Amino acid sequence: MKNNADLKTTFELGGDLEINRLGYGAMRITGPMLSGMPENPQNSIDVVRKAVELGVNFIDTADAYGPFTSEELIRDALFPYSKDVTIGTKGGLVRFGAHVDFNHDASPQHLHDALDGSLRRLKLDHIELYQLHRIDPKVPAEITFEFLAKAQQAGKIRHLGLSEVSVEDIQLARKYFKVASVQNRYSVLDRKWEPVLEYTESQGIAFIPWFPIGGGTTAESSKLQQAADRKRVSTHQLALSWLLHRADNILLIPGTSSIAHLEENMRSLDIRITTEEMNDLNALSEV
């Protein structure tokens, strides 16, 4: 855990792509329940543009968000892209409709179509960071990893990542390609994947927590609120700042469809957390 003086604001993804650690997650710019276009697409476009204006240069999305509409809105907002903006997307989950569950499909055929679809919608000749949204229990992981490695070798992907995986999953994937990132659920109140964070930190792999604000029990949430009140910041800001202090390899992608909320999230970079405060926050969740 880092002192404020040592807090790094950038990270070299894959060892050669420097990005700002506070990015933006574009899941919430779609319609209600992550389905279809939002009622006001221009608002979503404005939020994405504002994020870049405020210093965000890493945007995370997935073909399943909408589906497809998140990628389309990012394209409409930012194309032609600034050379320092990195778009990361994901494939391997399928969903059609607001009341339909996400289904796994990490078969080579689906991922081939999903990857080409993302390239087409984003108007890119390659994806800077392509992450497997989930390992498919119906498909041997080795087959999925072999396909992704070949797609990278073909020039469609620069860096590869994984989502919701164990240390053992990462180690298996590394037999096929260099794992640049891992995106697991993690927050100050939800630290189930602490061993994965520690492994990625030791290996120079980016750790991208989704649901970075966390849920937690009522008691835990109340204590987080009290800590935020003492610092005169929001619980969202404190939770994000804790993640930035927790490890240098953590990249944040808080999502919102509100410019005001976006600006609030960005101010988490300015929060100073003492060692004592970090210890108190660490105690909110049993590891």
In this predicted structure, what is the pLDDT of residue 238?
96
Nearest in space to 127 (alpha carbons), one of 85, 165, 96: 85
In this predicted structure, what is the pLDDT of residue 286?
64
Task: Measure the CA angle with vertex 128, ends 124 and 132; round to 5°.
Answer: 105
Distance, CA of 284 to CA of 184 (rounded, Å):
19
Name residue 5's amino acid. Answer: A
Q: What is the CATH number of the domain that holds 146?
A: 3.20.20.100
In this structure, is residue 263 part of a structural domain? no
In this structure, is residue 133 part of a structural domain? yes
Beta-strand pair 17-20/10-13: antiparallel
How many Cα neighbours within 13 Å face the side chain of 89?
31
In this structure, is residue 243 part of a structural domain? no
pLDDT in tens, 83-110: 999 999 999 999 887 778 899 999 999 9
In this structure, is residue 284 part of a structural domain? no
pLDDT by residue for the chain (287 residues), tens only, comes to 444 557 899 999 999 999 999 999 999 999 999 999 999 999 999 999 999 999 999 999 999 999 999 999 999 999 999 999 999 999 999 988 777 889 999 999 999 999 999 999 999 999 999 999 999 999 999 999 999 999 999 999 999 999 999 999 999 999 999 999 999 999 999 999 999 999 999 999 999 999 998 766 666 789 999 999 999 999 999 999 999 999 999 999 999 999 999 999 999 999 999 999 999 999 998 65
In this structure, how many other beta carbons lie within 10 angstroms of the beta carbon of residue 141?
A: 18
Instruction: Please measure the distance between the N-terminal and C-terminal CA atoms of the chain and give it in whole angstroms.
Output: 15
CA 141 → CA 112, 221, 274, 285, distances in Å? 15, 37, 42, 31
Q: 270 Cβ partners below 8 Å, 6+ apart?
A: none
Q: State the DSSP code for 79.
A: P
In this structure, is residue 192 part of a structural domain? yes
Question: 276: buried, middle or exposed (CB in 10 Å: 19+, 13-18, 0-12)?
Answer: exposed
* 8 A C-beta contact, residue 202 and residue 181: no
Q: Establish whether 176 is a catalytic residue.
A: no
In this structure, is residue 286 part of a structural domain? no
In this structure, is residue 163 part of a structural domain? yes
In this predicted structure, what is the pLDDT of residue 220?
77
pLDDT in tens, 52-70: 999 999 999 999 999 999 9
In this structure, is residue 78 part of a structural domain? yes
Q: Which residue has the tokens 């970079």?
A: 269
Nearest in space to 135 (alpha carbons), one of 169, 88, 160: 169
Q: 9 Cβ partners below 8 Å, 6+ apart?
A: 20, 21, 22, 269
Token couple for 193 = 């994947």
In this predicted structure, what is the pLDDT of residue 246?
97
Q: How many structural domains are present in the chain?
A: 1
* 8 A C-beta contact, residue 76 and residue 47: no
List the domain range (segments joined by +) for residue 56.
11-213+250-258
Which of 65, 176, 186, 199 is the catalytic position? Answer: 65
In this predicted structure, what is the pLDDT of residue 4?
52
